[in-house]
């Protein structure tokens, strides 16, 4: 009703408590709630979707690539939310944020670029030119 999509309740399949520390990459399916620390990349499979909930005490030192992310902790690395990213008031991201849809509460801090995923599908040719600039010259001359 009123044009809003129905919110799916996020099921938690995996829980990592405050004292848990993982050294290495973490790949999961379903829902993950993280209160502890991960020194490595965190990702979910594209087919499964996946949802990550990072609490105020949660900390990730690495890249996070998940379909839906609710972040209220700290990530030192790039964040890729394939569909939706919700940043709580205590969220801290030190890296670039790639997102489909983003919600930010007052107090959230991002030190990096905000990059909508729709723009990534059509990269700017000037950004991917060879160092000698031959592609830029060809584009200007109409060749």
In a domain, 2, yes or no: no
In a domain, 5, yes or no: no
For residues 63-72, give the mean pLDDT.
Answer: 96
In a domain, 87, yes or no: yes
In a domain, 1, yes or no: no
Question: How confident is the model over 19-66, as pLDDT tens digits?
Answer: 999 999 999 989 999 999 999 999 998 887 899 999 999 999 999 999
Tokens of 83: 């569909």
Would you place residue 81 in the very low, low, confident or very high pLDDT band (cuts 50, 70, 90)?
very high
User: Domain containing 105: what range?
Assistant: 14-141
pTM summary value: 0.75
**In 68-133, which residue ranges form alpha helices assigned H by DSSP?**
117-120
Distances (CA, A) of 58 to 15, 67, 73, 139: 11, 18, 5, 47
Tokens of 80: 């890729």
Give me the number of domains the chain comprises: 1
Distances (CA, A) of 87 to 53, 71, 96, 108: 10, 5, 14, 6
In a domain, 125, yes or no: yes
Torsion, CA 66, CA 109, CA 40, CA 35, rounded to 10: -80
**Nearest by Cα to 32 from 18, 49, 51, 47:** 51
In a domain, 130, yes or no: yes
């Amino acid at each position: 009703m009123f044009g809003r999509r129905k919110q799916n309740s996020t099921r938690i399949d995996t829980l990592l408590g405050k004292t848990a520390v993982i050294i290495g990459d973490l790949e999961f399916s379903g829902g993950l709630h993280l209160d502890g620390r991960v020194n490595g990349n965190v990702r979910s499979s594209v087919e499964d979707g996946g949802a990550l909930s990072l609490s105020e005490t949660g900390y990730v030192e690495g890249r996070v690539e998940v379909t839906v992310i609710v972040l209220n902790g700290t990530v030192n690395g790039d964040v890729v939310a394939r569909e939706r990213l919700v940043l709580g008031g205590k969220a801290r991201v030190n890296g670039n944020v790639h997102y489909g849809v983003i919600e930010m509460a007052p107090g959230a801090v991002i030190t990096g670029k905000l990059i909508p995923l729709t723009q990534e599908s059509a990269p700017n040719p000037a950004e991917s030119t060879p160092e000698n600039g031959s592609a830029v010259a060809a584009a200007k001359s109409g060749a």
